[in-house]
């Protein structure tokens, strides 16, 4: 048996061990949250610009296509065999220039036959006129009956009618003979020859080539209903108001809108499916560098000056069909802001709604941050020409 003193010492030792272990566990538990607490996220370096507001001239921008003022598809007006093609593919031609020649011999023969019939009809008219004159003299002497005079008069009328038919046949034969020489109906550029010499062609059916006028040209584009209503409210959609709307055009390879034109006409109805209406502008093409079918950028308006918020296009993000920017608050946290964009103005994009003057937005580094992130902003100018990008 263990003595009492030995048991006492063991009890004291066990109690001290329990207290020591409990204290250690308490210390570890208290220190665990501090050790596992996540570190604060590092601020992301971005370029931030202050949103300016300045007076701008309101312009509307559209996309269009160059169209020829005159486009003629050349088809033969008489059948026959092509004798000659009198142009080079893509050649500039004047109105009346010879393009194709159809074998004229059958039509010359038809003209000769018609002229022969015409000569016979003229002889019949002369004979009938002589007979009528004789009958008139005889009727005065009561040498013939009235019926004979009436018959002579009828014979003359019949001969005159036959002569008119013969004259029409001659005119038709002359026209058909003239149609064997196919000429350019308008001045412009001729396409390639679809039919070569030796082929038979059918009147009104066989396509020979096309001719399109060169200068001036149309630029056709569609404007939306809201723009149409805005122009109409200012009286610009009437015939007398079209000339008062400034219009400038640029090609795909041109900077800005270096070509000036003017509105020619507006369609008579709105397309209910697209909500747009077709507009036609007239543009000089003296150099001939505009070809039908070319893409054209169109800018119209310019009659209203208003204060506008402008930003760099690089600051704009796309969220499905929405446009947005990241606004930097006073605590350097970013916030999502949906915006409505307008046209370009001197290299910057107009913001129709969603932003206010003097707000700060992320310009460079948009792809590296999300709404709610803390950023390390570096101030830059909003003008892209003056901005120095942050090195990432």
Residue 202 has pLDDT above 60, yes or no: yes
Residue pLDDT, tens place only, 181-194? 999 999 999 999 99
CATH topology of domain 61-69+218-304: Elongation Factor Tu (Ef-tu); domain 3 (2.40.30)
In tens, the pLDDT along 324-383 reads 999 999 999 999 999 998 877 778 888 988 999 999 999 998 888 999 999 999 999 887
> What residue spans define the domains of the chain?
46-50+312-380, 61-69+218-304, 74-211
What's the fold here for domain 74-211?
OB fold (Dihydrolipoamide Acetyltransferase, E2P) (2.40.50)
Phi-psi region of 161 (alpha: psi -120 to 50; beta: other; left: phi over 0): alpha
- Residue 18, C-beta contacts closer than 8 angstroms, at least 6 positions apart: none
Q: What is the pLDDT of residue 352?
A: 86
For the entire predicted model, the pTM comes to 0.65
Give the pLDDT band of residue 65 (cuts 50, 70, 90).
Answer: very high
State the pLDDT at residue 113. Answer: 97
Q: Would 46-50+312-380 and 74-211 be classified into the same CATH topology?
A: no
| Number of residues assigned to the chain | 392
Strand partners, 56: 306
Of 300, 292, 359, which is closest to residue 325 (Cα–Cα)?
359
46-50+312-380 adopts what CATH topology?
Answer: 2.40.420
Convert 159-185 to b/e letters by CB count within 10 Å (16 or more is b): beebbeebeebbeebeebbebbebbbe
Mean pLDDT of 256-261: 92
The tens digit of pLDDT for each residue in 29-60 reads 455 444 455 566 788 899 999 999 988 877 88
């Amino acid at each position: 048996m263990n003595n009492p003193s030995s048991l006492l010492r063991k009890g004291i030792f066990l109690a001290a061990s329990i207290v020591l272990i409990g204290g250690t566990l308490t210390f570890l538990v208290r220190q665990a949250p501090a050790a596992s607490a996540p570190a604060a996220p590092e601020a992301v370096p971005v370029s931030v610009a202050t949103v300016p507001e300045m007076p701008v001239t309101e312009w509307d921008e559209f996309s269009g296509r160059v169209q020829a003022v005159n486009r003629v598809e050349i088809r033969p007006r008489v059948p026959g065999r092509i004798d000659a093609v009198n142009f080079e593919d893509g050649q500039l031609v004047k109105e009346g220039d010879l393009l194709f020649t159809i074998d004229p011999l059958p039509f010359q023969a038809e003209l000769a036959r018609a002229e022969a019939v015409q000569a016979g009809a003229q002889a019949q008219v002369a004979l009938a006129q002589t007979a009528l004159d004789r009958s008139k003299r005889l009727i005065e002497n009561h040498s013939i009956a009235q019926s004979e005079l009436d018959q002579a008069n009828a014979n003359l009328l019949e001969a005159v009618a036959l002569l008119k038919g013969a004259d029409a046949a001659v005119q038709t034969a002359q026209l058909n003979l003239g149609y064997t020489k196919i000429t350019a109906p308008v001045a412009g550029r001729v396409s390639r020859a679809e039919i070569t010499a030796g082929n038979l062609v059918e009147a009104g059916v066989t396509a020979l080539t096309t001719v399109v006028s060169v200068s001036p040209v149309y630029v056709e584009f569609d404007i939306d209903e809201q723009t149409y209503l805005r122009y109409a409210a200012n009286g610009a959609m009437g015939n007398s108001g079209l000339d008062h709307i400034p219009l400038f055009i640029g090609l795909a390879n041109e900077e800005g809108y270096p070509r000036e034109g003017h509105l020619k006409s507006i369609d008579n109805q709105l397309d209910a499916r697209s909500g747009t209406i077709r507009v036609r502008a007239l543009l000089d093409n003296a150099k001939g560098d505009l070809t039908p079918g070319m893409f054209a950028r169109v800018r119209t308006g310019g009659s209203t000056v208003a204060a506008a918020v402008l930003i760099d296009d690089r600051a704009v993000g796309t969220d499905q069909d929405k446009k947005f920017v990241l606004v930097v608050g006073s605590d350097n946290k970013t916030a999502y802001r949906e915006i409505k964009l307008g046209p370009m103005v001197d290299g910057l994009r107009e913001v129709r709604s969603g932003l206010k003057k003097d707000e700060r937005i992320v310009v460079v580094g948009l792809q590296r941050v999300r709404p709610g992130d803390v950023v390390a902003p570096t101030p830059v100018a909003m003008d892209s020409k003056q901005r120095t990008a942050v090195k990432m």
